[in-house]
Structure 1
Amino acid sequence: MERIVIGEYKFYQSTNNIQNKDKIVILYHGWGGTAKGYLELAEEIAQEGFVVLIPDILYHDERFPLENHFDSNVTRNYFWNTVFHTINEYNEFLRVIGVKKNSTILVGNSMGGFIANGIFAKEPEISGLANINGSGSFVLTEKIFRIRDGRDEISQAEESRLKKYDSIDKMISLSPVLLMHGDSDTIIPIEGQKNYYKYITKEEKRTNVEMEIFEKVNHEFTPKMVQKLIAWLKEIKNKKEG
Protein backbone atom coordinates (compact mmCIF):
# COMPACT_ATOMS: atom_id res chain seq x y z
CA MET A 1 0.00 0.00 0.00
CA GLU A 2 1.19 3.49 -0.85
CA ARG A 3 0.47 6.63 1.16
CA ILE A 4 -0.81 9.43 -1.11
CA VAL A 5 -1.63 13.07 -0.44
CA ILE A 6 -3.56 15.18 -2.96
CA GLY A 7 -4.56 18.54 -1.57
CA GLU A 8 -6.59 18.03 1.59
CA TYR A 9 -7.14 14.34 0.84
CA LYS A 10 -4.86 11.71 2.31
CA PHE A 11 -5.30 8.00 1.64
CA TYR A 12 -3.69 4.63 1.17
CA GLN A 13 -3.80 3.09 -2.28
CA SER A 14 -3.01 -0.45 -3.39
CA THR A 15 -1.86 0.48 -6.91
CA ASN A 16 -1.04 3.53 -8.99
CA ASN A 17 -3.06 2.44 -12.02
CA ILE A 18 -6.52 3.27 -10.70
CA GLN A 19 -7.65 4.79 -14.00
CA ASN A 20 -7.25 1.38 -15.66
CA LYS A 21 -9.39 -0.48 -13.14
CA ASP A 22 -13.17 -0.84 -13.29
CA LYS A 23 -13.60 -2.16 -9.75
CA ILE A 24 -12.21 0.05 -7.01
CA VAL A 25 -13.00 -0.70 -3.38
CA ILE A 26 -13.17 2.33 -1.11
CA LEU A 27 -12.77 1.21 2.48
CA TYR A 28 -14.04 3.33 5.38
CA HIS A 29 -12.92 2.63 8.95
CA GLY A 30 -14.82 3.06 12.20
CA TRP A 31 -15.09 5.82 14.79
CA GLY A 32 -11.78 6.25 16.58
CA GLY A 33 -10.04 3.90 14.13
CA THR A 34 -7.37 4.64 11.57
CA ALA A 35 -6.85 4.13 7.86
CA LYS A 36 -3.58 2.37 8.69
CA GLY A 37 -5.48 -0.12 10.81
CA TYR A 38 -7.16 -1.49 7.68
CA LEU A 39 -4.05 -2.12 5.62
CA GLU A 40 -4.12 -5.87 6.18
CA LEU A 41 -7.73 -6.12 5.03
CA ALA A 42 -6.94 -3.92 2.05
CA GLU A 43 -4.11 -6.21 1.01
CA GLU A 44 -6.43 -9.23 1.17
CA ILE A 45 -8.93 -7.47 -1.06
CA ALA A 46 -6.22 -6.26 -3.44
CA GLN A 47 -5.01 -9.84 -3.89
CA GLU A 48 -8.35 -10.59 -5.54
CA GLY A 49 -7.63 -8.06 -8.28
CA PHE A 50 -9.28 -4.97 -6.84
CA VAL A 51 -7.74 -1.56 -6.37
CA VAL A 52 -8.28 -0.53 -2.75
CA LEU A 53 -8.36 3.00 -1.37
CA ILE A 54 -8.52 3.78 2.36
CA PRO A 55 -9.25 7.49 2.89
CA ASP A 56 -8.32 9.41 5.99
CA ILE A 57 -11.59 10.48 7.60
CA LEU A 58 -12.11 13.92 9.13
CA TYR A 59 -11.12 14.10 12.84
CA HIS A 60 -8.98 10.96 12.42
CA ASP A 61 -5.44 10.16 11.28
CA GLU A 62 -3.87 13.35 9.88
CA ARG A 63 -7.12 15.29 9.39
CA PHE A 64 -7.51 17.23 12.64
CA PRO A 65 -7.63 14.14 14.90
CA LEU A 66 -9.55 14.37 18.15
CA GLU A 67 -7.74 13.73 21.43
CA ASN A 68 -10.25 11.19 22.75
CA HIS A 69 -12.87 9.89 20.35
CA PHE A 70 -14.51 7.77 23.02
CA ASP A 71 -15.29 10.51 25.51
CA SER A 72 -19.10 10.51 25.50
CA ASN A 73 -19.37 14.27 24.86
CA VAL A 74 -16.85 14.09 22.03
CA THR A 75 -18.73 11.22 20.39
CA ARG A 76 -22.07 13.03 20.62
CA ASN A 77 -20.66 16.27 19.24
CA TYR A 78 -18.58 14.85 16.40
CA PHE A 79 -19.89 11.43 15.31
CA TRP A 80 -22.72 12.51 13.03
CA ASN A 81 -20.82 15.56 11.77
CA THR A 82 -18.02 13.24 10.70
CA VAL A 83 -20.44 10.90 8.93
CA PHE A 84 -22.15 13.77 7.11
CA HIS A 85 -18.89 15.46 6.12
CA THR A 86 -17.49 12.27 4.64
CA ILE A 87 -20.68 11.63 2.67
CA ASN A 88 -20.63 15.21 1.38
CA GLU A 89 -17.02 15.10 0.21
CA TYR A 90 -17.32 11.82 -1.71
CA ASN A 91 -17.85 13.34 -5.15
CA GLU A 92 -15.01 15.80 -4.73
CA PHE A 93 -12.72 13.03 -3.52
CA LEU A 94 -13.47 10.99 -6.66
CA ARG A 95 -12.94 14.04 -8.86
CA VAL A 96 -9.57 14.80 -7.31
CA ILE A 97 -8.26 11.25 -7.67
CA GLY A 98 -9.79 10.74 -11.12
CA VAL A 99 -12.18 7.85 -10.45
CA LYS A 100 -15.67 7.31 -11.89
CA LYS A 101 -18.57 6.52 -9.57
CA ASN A 102 -19.55 3.37 -11.42
CA SER A 103 -16.07 1.97 -10.78
CA THR A 104 -16.48 2.08 -7.02
CA ILE A 105 -17.65 -0.44 -4.46
CA LEU A 106 -18.09 0.95 -0.95
CA VAL A 107 -17.08 -1.06 2.12
CA GLY A 108 -17.42 0.33 5.63
CA ASN A 109 -17.14 -0.99 9.17
CA SER A 110 -18.97 0.57 12.13
CA MET A 111 -19.00 4.35 11.48
CA GLY A 112 -17.61 3.48 8.06
CA GLY A 113 -20.76 1.45 7.46
CA PHE A 114 -22.91 4.52 8.13
CA ILE A 115 -20.75 6.52 5.72
CA ALA A 116 -20.79 3.91 2.97
CA ASN A 117 -24.56 3.45 3.28
CA GLY A 118 -25.18 7.19 3.21
CA ILE A 119 -23.12 7.63 0.05
CA PHE A 120 -24.75 4.62 -1.60
CA ALA A 121 -28.21 6.08 -1.00
CA LYS A 122 -27.27 9.29 -2.82
CA GLU A 123 -25.24 7.89 -5.70
CA PRO A 124 -27.13 5.31 -7.84
CA GLU A 125 -24.13 4.68 -10.11
CA ILE A 126 -22.09 2.97 -7.37
CA SER A 127 -21.34 -0.70 -8.08
CA GLY A 128 -21.90 -2.18 -4.63
CA LEU A 129 -22.20 -1.65 -0.88
CA ALA A 130 -20.95 -3.71 2.06
CA ASN A 131 -22.01 -2.35 5.45
CA ILE A 132 -20.41 -4.17 8.38
CA ASN A 133 -21.57 -3.38 11.92
CA GLY A 134 -23.02 -0.05 10.81
CA SER A 135 -26.47 1.22 9.91
CA GLY A 136 -28.36 2.61 6.94
CA SER A 137 -31.20 3.76 9.18
CA PHE A 138 -29.84 6.90 10.79
CA VAL A 139 -32.92 8.26 12.55
CA LEU A 140 -33.83 4.93 14.13
CA THR A 141 -30.25 4.31 15.26
CA GLU A 142 -29.94 7.76 16.86
CA LYS A 143 -33.22 7.21 18.72
CA ILE A 144 -31.87 3.91 20.05
CA PHE A 145 -28.57 5.59 21.02
CA ARG A 146 -30.50 8.15 23.08
CA ILE A 147 -32.68 5.60 24.84
CA ARG A 148 -29.63 3.46 25.65
CA ASP A 149 -27.66 6.44 26.98
CA GLY A 150 -30.54 7.98 28.93
CA ARG A 151 -30.57 11.15 26.85
CA ASP A 152 -33.41 13.41 25.78
CA GLU A 153 -35.54 12.49 22.79
CA ILE A 154 -34.34 13.70 19.42
CA SER A 155 -35.54 17.18 18.47
CA GLN A 156 -37.44 17.89 15.27
CA ALA A 157 -34.51 19.87 13.87
CA GLU A 158 -32.05 17.07 14.66
CA GLU A 159 -34.35 14.47 13.12
CA SER A 160 -34.77 16.56 9.97
CA ARG A 161 -31.00 16.82 9.60
CA LEU A 162 -30.56 13.07 9.98
CA LYS A 163 -33.29 12.40 7.42
CA LYS A 164 -31.31 14.33 4.79
CA TYR A 165 -28.65 11.62 4.97
CA ASP A 166 -30.71 8.62 6.11
CA SER A 167 -30.76 5.80 3.54
CA ILE A 168 -34.46 5.12 4.13
CA ASP A 169 -36.75 6.47 1.38
CA LYS A 170 -33.83 7.54 -0.80
CA MET A 171 -33.01 6.77 -4.41
CA ILE A 172 -30.59 3.88 -4.32
CA SER A 173 -28.24 2.05 -6.61
CA LEU A 174 -29.51 -1.23 -8.01
CA SER A 175 -26.11 -2.79 -7.35
CA PRO A 176 -25.47 -5.63 -4.87
CA VAL A 177 -25.70 -4.99 -1.14
CA LEU A 178 -24.13 -6.97 1.71
CA LEU A 179 -25.08 -6.26 5.32
CA MET A 180 -23.26 -8.00 8.18
CA HIS A 181 -23.70 -7.56 11.91
CA GLY A 182 -23.05 -9.35 15.18
CA ASP A 183 -26.21 -10.29 17.06
CA SER A 184 -24.65 -9.21 20.38
CA ASP A 185 -23.39 -5.77 19.30
CA THR A 186 -23.48 -3.41 22.29
CA ILE A 187 -22.03 -0.42 20.39
CA ILE A 188 -24.06 -0.11 17.18
CA PRO A 189 -27.55 -1.61 17.55
CA ILE A 190 -28.38 -4.26 14.97
CA GLU A 191 -31.90 -2.82 14.61
CA GLY A 192 -30.56 -0.18 12.19
CA GLN A 193 -29.24 -2.85 9.82
CA LYS A 194 -32.46 -4.86 10.10
CA ASN A 195 -34.58 -1.80 9.39
CA TYR A 196 -32.56 -0.91 6.30
CA TYR A 197 -32.69 -4.52 5.10
CA LYS A 198 -36.48 -4.52 5.53
CA TYR A 199 -36.77 -1.26 3.61
CA ILE A 200 -34.57 -2.28 0.72
CA THR A 201 -36.11 -5.76 0.32
CA LYS A 202 -39.77 -5.08 1.17
CA GLU A 203 -40.31 -1.50 0.02
CA GLU A 204 -37.80 -1.41 -2.83
CA LYS A 205 -38.28 -5.13 -3.56
CA ARG A 206 -34.59 -5.64 -4.19
CA THR A 207 -33.37 -9.21 -4.57
CA ASN A 208 -29.57 -8.81 -4.77
CA VAL A 209 -29.33 -7.95 -1.07
CA GLU A 210 -27.83 -10.19 1.61
CA MET A 211 -27.95 -9.77 5.35
CA GLU A 212 -25.89 -12.13 7.47
CA ILE A 213 -26.14 -12.08 11.25
CA PHE A 214 -23.25 -13.55 13.21
CA GLU A 215 -24.21 -15.29 16.45
CA LYS A 216 -22.53 -14.37 19.73
CA VAL A 217 -20.52 -11.59 18.07
CA ASN A 218 -20.23 -8.15 19.67
CA HIS A 219 -18.91 -5.09 17.83
CA GLU A 220 -16.19 -6.96 15.95
CA PHE A 221 -15.04 -7.39 12.35
CA THR A 222 -14.37 -11.10 12.64
CA PRO A 223 -12.35 -13.38 10.32
CA LYS A 224 -15.63 -15.00 9.19
CA MET A 225 -16.94 -11.57 8.23
CA VAL A 226 -13.78 -10.92 6.25
CA GLN A 227 -14.19 -14.26 4.46
CA LYS A 228 -17.79 -13.42 3.57
CA LEU A 229 -16.78 -9.97 2.34
CA ILE A 230 -14.03 -11.37 0.11
CA ALA A 231 -16.38 -14.00 -1.35
CA TRP A 232 -19.02 -11.34 -2.04
CA LEU A 233 -16.49 -9.06 -3.76
CA LYS A 234 -15.21 -11.95 -5.88
CA GLU A 235 -18.76 -12.72 -6.97
CA ILE A 236 -19.23 -9.13 -8.15
CA LYS A 237 -15.92 -9.24 -10.00
CA ASN A 238 -16.71 -12.58 -11.67
CA LYS A 239 -20.09 -11.34 -12.87
CA LYS A 240 -18.44 -8.24 -14.32
CA GLU A 241 -15.82 -10.28 -16.12
CA GLY A 242 -18.34 -12.87 -17.24
Structure 2
Amino acid sequence: MEIHSSESNSNQKLPFRLFQGTNEKAPILVIYHGWAGSNAGYYDLAEELQEQGYTVVLPDIVHHDSRGTIDNFFDESTRQQMFWGTVFQAIDEFDKLIADLKVNKKDVLVIGSSMGGFIASSIFAKNPEIQGLVNVNGSGAFVVADEFFRRVDGRDKLSGKERAVLETYDPINYTYSRKPVLLMHGDSDQVLDTSGQYAYYAHCSSSDVTFDIFNDVNHQFTEDMVEGLKSWLNEQFGRSCI
Protein backbone atom coordinates (compact mmCIF):
# COMPACT_ATOMS: atom_id res chain seq x y z
CA MET A 1 0.00 0.00 0.00
CA GLU A 2 1.21 3.47 -0.87
CA ILE A 3 -0.08 6.79 0.50
CA HIS A 4 -0.40 9.71 -1.90
CA SER A 5 -1.82 13.21 -1.84
CA SER A 6 -2.46 15.78 -4.49
CA GLU A 7 -2.93 19.50 -4.22
CA SER A 8 -5.58 21.41 -6.14
CA ASN A 9 -5.45 25.02 -7.29
CA SER A 10 -7.14 25.91 -3.99
CA ASN A 11 -4.27 24.18 -2.13
CA GLN A 12 -6.60 21.46 -0.90
CA LYS A 13 -4.80 18.17 -0.40
CA LEU A 14 -6.58 15.03 -1.58
CA PRO A 15 -4.91 12.04 0.08
CA PHE A 16 -5.67 8.46 -0.91
CA ARG A 17 -4.40 4.94 -0.31
CA LEU A 18 -3.22 3.04 -3.36
CA PHE A 19 -2.99 -0.74 -3.67
CA GLN A 20 -1.24 -1.33 -6.98
CA GLY A 21 -2.47 -4.33 -8.93
CA THR A 22 -0.73 -6.28 -11.67
CA ASN A 23 -3.46 -6.60 -14.30
CA GLU A 24 -3.58 -3.57 -16.55
CA LYS A 25 -6.74 -4.88 -18.25
CA ALA A 26 -8.73 -4.88 -15.02
CA PRO A 27 -10.69 -1.75 -14.04
CA ILE A 28 -9.23 0.47 -11.33
CA LEU A 29 -11.48 0.14 -8.30
CA VAL A 30 -12.13 3.38 -6.39
CA ILE A 31 -13.78 2.52 -3.07
CA TYR A 32 -15.56 5.03 -0.78
CA HIS A 33 -16.31 4.17 2.85
CA GLY A 34 -19.28 5.19 4.97
CA TRP A 35 -20.12 8.00 7.37
CA ALA A 36 -17.87 7.80 10.47
CA GLY A 37 -15.91 5.04 8.73
CA SER A 38 -12.25 4.82 7.78
CA ASN A 39 -10.15 3.61 4.90
CA ALA A 40 -8.48 1.25 7.36
CA GLY A 41 -11.69 -0.75 7.48
CA TYR A 42 -11.22 -1.56 3.78
CA TYR A 43 -7.57 -2.54 3.77
CA ASP A 44 -8.35 -6.27 3.92
CA LEU A 45 -10.80 -5.99 1.02
CA ALA A 46 -8.34 -3.89 -0.97
CA GLU A 47 -5.59 -6.44 -0.41
CA GLU A 48 -7.87 -9.31 -1.50
CA LEU A 49 -8.75 -7.46 -4.69
CA GLN A 50 -5.11 -6.48 -5.23
CA GLU A 51 -4.14 -10.16 -5.03
CA GLN A 52 -6.61 -10.79 -7.86
CA GLY A 53 -4.86 -8.21 -10.03
CA TYR A 54 -6.92 -5.11 -9.37
CA THR A 55 -5.51 -1.70 -8.55
CA VAL A 56 -7.56 -0.30 -5.65
CA VAL A 57 -7.80 3.34 -4.58
CA LEU A 58 -9.23 4.38 -1.20
CA PRO A 59 -9.76 8.17 -1.15
CA ASP A 60 -9.65 9.98 2.18
CA ILE A 61 -13.05 11.67 2.53
CA VAL A 62 -13.34 15.11 4.12
CA HIS A 63 -13.87 14.96 7.94
CA HIS A 64 -12.44 11.42 7.97
CA ASP A 65 -9.00 9.82 8.30
CA SER A 66 -6.22 12.32 7.49
CA ARG A 67 -8.75 15.06 6.65
CA GLY A 68 -9.96 15.74 10.15
CA THR A 69 -12.79 14.34 12.20
CA ILE A 70 -16.09 15.22 13.87
CA ASP A 71 -16.47 15.09 17.63
CA ASN A 72 -19.60 12.97 17.47
CA PHE A 73 -20.55 11.65 14.05
CA PHE A 74 -23.80 10.27 15.39
CA ASP A 75 -25.07 13.40 17.08
CA GLU A 76 -28.37 13.97 15.30
CA SER A 77 -27.85 17.67 14.68
CA THR A 78 -24.28 17.16 13.44
CA ARG A 79 -25.30 14.41 11.06
CA GLN A 80 -28.18 16.47 9.69
CA GLN A 81 -25.93 19.48 9.09
CA MET A 82 -22.85 17.73 7.70
CA PHE A 83 -23.81 14.50 5.96
CA TRP A 84 -24.89 15.90 2.61
CA GLY A 85 -22.08 18.45 2.47
CA THR A 86 -19.57 15.64 2.97
CA VAL A 87 -21.19 13.62 0.19
CA PHE A 88 -21.24 16.57 -2.21
CA GLN A 89 -17.61 17.48 -1.59
CA ALA A 90 -16.42 13.94 -2.26
CA ILE A 91 -18.38 13.90 -5.52
CA ASP A 92 -17.00 17.28 -6.56
CA GLU A 93 -13.44 16.15 -5.85
CA PHE A 94 -13.57 13.14 -8.14
CA ASP A 95 -12.03 14.98 -11.11
CA LYS A 96 -9.10 16.04 -8.91
CA LEU A 97 -8.58 12.46 -7.81
CA ILE A 98 -8.59 11.21 -11.40
CA ALA A 99 -6.10 13.90 -12.42
CA ASP A 100 -3.75 12.94 -9.60
CA LEU A 101 -4.00 9.25 -10.45
CA LYS A 102 -3.19 10.13 -14.08
CA VAL A 103 -5.79 7.69 -15.38
CA ASN A 104 -8.85 7.93 -17.61
CA LYS A 105 -12.35 7.75 -16.21
CA LYS A 106 -13.14 4.97 -18.68
CA ASP A 107 -10.64 2.78 -16.80
CA VAL A 108 -12.35 3.26 -13.41
CA LEU A 109 -15.12 1.43 -11.58
CA VAL A 110 -16.55 3.07 -8.45
CA ILE A 111 -17.63 1.21 -5.32
CA GLY A 112 -19.19 2.58 -2.15
CA SER A 113 -20.66 1.36 1.12
CA SER A 114 -23.33 3.32 3.04
CA MET A 115 -22.42 7.01 2.55
CA GLY A 116 -19.83 5.79 0.08
CA GLY A 117 -22.66 4.25 -1.91
CA PHE A 118 -24.25 7.68 -2.26
CA ILE A 119 -20.93 9.16 -3.39
CA ALA A 120 -20.12 6.38 -5.86
CA SER A 121 -23.63 6.41 -7.36
CA SER A 122 -23.54 10.14 -8.09
CA ILE A 123 -20.02 9.98 -9.52
CA PHE A 124 -21.12 7.13 -11.77
CA ALA A 125 -24.23 9.02 -12.89
CA LYS A 126 -22.35 12.24 -13.65
CA ASN A 127 -19.51 10.49 -15.52
CA PRO A 128 -20.99 8.08 -18.08
CA GLU A 129 -17.57 6.89 -19.27
CA ILE A 130 -16.95 5.12 -15.93
CA GLN A 131 -16.93 1.32 -16.30
CA GLY A 132 -19.41 0.43 -13.58
CA LEU A 133 -20.83 0.90 -10.09
CA VAL A 134 -21.23 -1.12 -6.91
CA ASN A 135 -23.48 0.38 -4.21
CA VAL A 136 -23.65 -1.46 -0.88
CA ASN A 137 -26.28 -0.31 1.65
CA GLY A 138 -26.34 3.15 0.11
CA SER A 139 -28.74 4.99 -2.16
CA GLY A 140 -28.84 6.05 -5.79
CA ALA A 141 -31.87 8.26 -5.17
CA PHE A 142 -30.94 11.21 -2.98
CA VAL A 143 -34.34 12.84 -2.56
CA VAL A 144 -35.89 9.48 -1.67
CA ALA A 145 -33.15 8.82 0.89
CA ASP A 146 -33.47 12.27 2.43
CA GLU A 147 -37.21 11.81 2.79
CA PHE A 148 -36.46 8.60 4.71
CA PHE A 149 -33.98 10.41 6.99
CA ARG A 150 -36.53 13.13 7.70
CA ARG A 151 -39.27 10.65 8.57
CA VAL A 152 -36.96 8.86 11.00
CA ASP A 153 -35.83 12.14 12.60
CA GLY A 154 -39.32 13.66 12.67
CA ARG A 155 -38.23 16.66 10.61
CA ASP A 156 -40.18 18.81 8.18
CA LYS A 157 -40.26 17.93 4.50
CA LEU A 158 -37.61 19.24 2.11
CA SER A 159 -37.91 22.88 1.18
CA GLY A 160 -37.85 23.78 -2.49
CA LYS A 161 -34.32 25.13 -2.15
CA GLU A 162 -33.07 22.00 -0.37
CA ARG A 163 -34.66 19.77 -2.97
CA ALA A 164 -33.07 21.75 -5.81
CA VAL A 165 -29.59 21.25 -4.33
CA LEU A 166 -30.11 17.53 -3.85
CA GLU A 167 -31.43 17.15 -7.37
CA THR A 168 -28.23 18.53 -8.89
CA TYR A 169 -26.39 15.50 -7.47
CA ASP A 170 -29.21 12.95 -7.45
CA PRO A 171 -28.28 9.97 -9.69
CA ILE A 172 -31.85 9.40 -10.84
CA ASN A 173 -31.78 12.81 -12.52
CA TYR A 174 -29.08 11.60 -14.91
CA THR A 175 -29.42 9.29 -17.89
CA TYR A 176 -28.22 5.81 -17.04
CA SER A 177 -25.07 4.96 -19.03
CA ARG A 178 -25.99 1.26 -19.36
CA LYS A 179 -22.70 0.24 -17.78
CA PRO A 180 -22.90 -2.68 -15.32
CA VAL A 181 -24.25 -1.94 -11.85
CA LEU A 182 -24.41 -4.07 -8.70
CA LEU A 183 -26.70 -2.99 -5.85
CA MET A 184 -26.54 -4.87 -2.54
CA HIS A 185 -28.57 -4.15 0.58
CA GLY A 186 -29.55 -5.84 3.82
CA ASP A 187 -33.28 -6.34 4.22
CA SER A 188 -33.06 -5.52 7.95
CA ASP A 189 -31.11 -2.27 7.55
CA GLN A 190 -32.07 0.03 10.43
CA VAL A 191 -29.91 2.96 9.28
CA LEU A 192 -31.09 3.31 5.68
CA ASP A 193 -33.96 1.36 4.20
CA THR A 194 -33.98 -0.09 0.69
CA SER A 195 -36.28 2.56 -0.83
CA GLY A 196 -33.44 4.52 -2.45
CA GLN A 197 -31.94 1.37 -3.97
CA TYR A 198 -35.30 0.29 -5.38
CA ALA A 199 -35.88 3.78 -6.81
CA TYR A 200 -32.50 3.74 -8.56
CA TYR A 201 -33.08 0.18 -9.80
CA ALA A 202 -36.40 1.28 -11.29
CA HIS A 203 -34.73 4.34 -12.85
CA CYS A 204 -32.15 2.19 -14.63
CA SER A 205 -34.68 -0.48 -15.63
CA SER A 206 -32.03 -2.59 -17.35
CA SER A 207 -30.71 -6.12 -17.38
CA ASP A 208 -27.27 -4.56 -16.81
CA VAL A 209 -28.28 -3.84 -13.19
CA THR A 210 -28.12 -6.57 -10.54
CA PHE A 211 -29.96 -5.96 -7.27
CA ASP A 212 -29.23 -8.45 -4.48
CA ILE A 213 -31.09 -8.34 -1.16
CA PHE A 214 -29.44 -10.08 1.81
CA ASN A 215 -31.80 -11.58 4.36
CA ASP A 216 -31.52 -10.73 8.06
CA VAL A 217 -28.67 -8.29 7.43
CA ASN A 218 -28.58 -4.87 9.10
CA HIS A 219 -26.37 -1.96 7.95
CA GLN A 220 -23.28 -4.11 7.36
CA PHE A 221 -20.89 -5.01 4.56
CA THR A 222 -20.89 -8.74 5.26
CA GLU A 223 -18.58 -11.50 4.07
CA ASP A 224 -21.39 -12.74 1.82
CA MET A 225 -21.55 -9.28 0.25
CA VAL A 226 -17.79 -9.28 -0.29
CA GLU A 227 -18.06 -12.65 -2.02
CA GLY A 228 -20.97 -11.30 -4.07
CA LEU A 229 -18.84 -8.34 -5.12
CA LYS A 230 -15.93 -10.53 -6.20
CA SER A 231 -18.21 -12.92 -8.07
CA TRP A 232 -19.90 -10.04 -9.88
CA LEU A 233 -16.57 -8.53 -10.90
CA ASN A 234 -15.54 -11.90 -12.28
CA GLU A 235 -18.78 -12.22 -14.24
CA GLN A 236 -18.51 -8.71 -15.68
CA PHE A 237 -14.83 -8.55 -16.52
CA GLY A 238 -13.81 -12.18 -16.92
CA ARG A 239 -11.23 -14.31 -15.20
CA SER A 240 -8.48 -12.69 -17.24
CA CYS A 241 -9.10 -9.50 -15.28
CA ILE A 242 -8.85 -10.92 -11.74
- TM-score for the superposition, normalised by structure 2: 0.93
**Which of these residues, 173, 192, 199, is aligned with residue 196 of structure 2?**
192
Please give the per-residue CA displacement for 1:170-201, whole angstroms capped at 9, x wherever unaligned: 12322100000000101011111011111111
Task: State the 1:67 CA deviation.
Answer: 1.8
Cα distance in 1 for residues equivalent to 2:30 and 2:21: 15
Equivalent position of 2:156 in the other structure:
152
> 2:183·2:210 contact (CA, 8 Å) conserved in 1?
yes
Equivalent position of 1:167 in the other structure:
171
> 1:48·1:234 contact (CA, 8 Å) conserved in 2?
no
Alignment of 1:10-29 (within 5 A): 10-15=15-20, 20=24, 22-29=26-33
Cα distance in 2 for residues equivalent to 1:164 and 1:4: 30
User: Relative to structure 1, is the Cα distance of residues 57 and 77 closer, same or farther in structure 2, using a 3 angstrom cutoff?
Assistant: same
The aligned amino acid for 1:15 is Q
**Which of these residues, 141, 146, 153, is aligned with residue 145 of structure 2?**
141
Report the count of equivalent residues.
236
> 1:31·1:110 contact (CA, 8 Å) conserved in 2?
yes
Cα distance in 1 for residues equivalent to 2:144 and 2:40: 31
Equivalent position of 1:212 in the other structure:
212
Cα distance in 1 for residues equivalent to 2:15 and 2:40: 11
Cα distance in 2 for residues equivalent to 1:154 and 1:209: 29
Structure 1 residue 56 corresponds to structure 2 residue 63: no
Please give the per-residue CA displacement for 1:121-140, whole angstroms capped at 9, x wherever unaligned: 10000001000000000001
1:142 aligned counterpart, secondary structure: helix
Structure 1 residue 119 corresponds to structure 2 residue 126: no
Task: State the 1:228 CA deviation.
Answer: 0.3
Cα distance in 2 for residues equivalent to 1:83 and 1:155: 19
User: C-alpha root-mean-square deviation of aligned residues, in Å?
Assistant: 1.6
Task: State the 1:6 CA deviation.
Answer: 2.7
> 1:122·1:172 contact (CA, 8 Å) conserved in 2?
no
**Which of these residues, 84, 87, 90, is aligned with residue 86 of structure 1?**
90
1:153 aligned counterpart, secondary structure: coil
Alignment of 1:174-189 (within 5 A): 174-189=178-193
Equivalent position of 2:132 in the other structure:
128
Structure 1: any 5+ residue segments left out of the alignment? none
Task: State the 1:240 CA deviation.
Answer: 7.8
Cα distance in 1 for residues equivalent to 2:162 and 2:63: 21
1:96 aligned counterpart, secondary structure: helix
> 1:13·1:52 contact (CA, 8 Å) conserved in 2?
yes
1:168 aligned counterpart, secondary structure: helix
Task: State the 1:239 CA deviation.
Answer: 7.8
1:188 aligned counterpart, secondary structure: coil
Structure 2: any 5+ residue segments left out of the alignment? 8-12
2:167 aligned counterpart, secondary structure: helix
Cα distance in 2 for residues equivalent to 1:239 and 1:160: 43
- Sequence identity (%): 43
Alignment of 1:69-84 (within 5 A): 69-84=73-88
